[in-house]
Amino acid sequence: MSEKVVKTDNDWKEELSPEEFRVMRKHGTEPAFTGKYWDLKDQGIYKCAACGNELFSSETKYDSGSGWPSFYQPLSQDKVGTQIDRTLLAARTEVHCDKCNAHLGHVFPDGPMPTGQRYCINSVSLKFEKKD
C-alpha cells in the first residue's frame, strides 16, 4: 500500500483547478455528459487527478448511459475507499481515492456482471494515461 497524501485545502487550491477543487475536495459533481472521459473508448489507465494513484482500467469501463465514466470495478479494492453520503434524500455510497481522499464519485449496485457494481466517476477527478 502506498503512503497517504495529506495536504491542507490551501495546498490543494494551489495545485488543482477551481473545478477540480470543487469536485475532489468539496464533494461536488460535474454535469452529466460534460466530462472529457464519459465516452472515451481508448485503452489505458485512469488515475486520480490529484495524486496520480492508479484507480481504474479501461478494460472495466462501460457505457452506463449515465453521462459519467462508469466502471464495474477498480484496479484493486485498496485503490479506492467508500463511505455513506447522506447529502441527498437517499443514502448513496461515495467513492474516494484511498491515497489522497479525493472525492471521485459514487458506486451503485446496478452495474454489469461480474461485479454488479457501477462506479460512476467524475471525469474531472481522473487523468487518463493511454496504453501504448
Whether 120 is catalytic is yes
Alpha-carbon distance of 10 to 14, in angstroms, equals 6
Enumerate domains of the chain plus CATH numbers.
9-130 (2.170.150.20)
Question: Tens of pLDDT along 10-61?
Answer: 999 999 999 999 999 999 999 999 999 999 999 999 999 999 999 999 999 9
| CA 49/CA 28 separation, integer angstroms | 15
Catalytic pick among 51, 97, 100, 120 = 120
Reduced DSSP (H G I as helix, E B as strand, rest coil) percent helix, strand, coil of the chain, to 5:
15, 30, 55
Distances (CA, A) of 109 to 64, 66, 78, 114: 12, 14, 19, 12
pTM: 0.93
Residue range 27-40, pLDDT digits in tens = 999 999 999 999 99
Instruction: Give the amino acid at 100.
Output: C
124 in Cβ contact with 35 (< 8 Å): yes
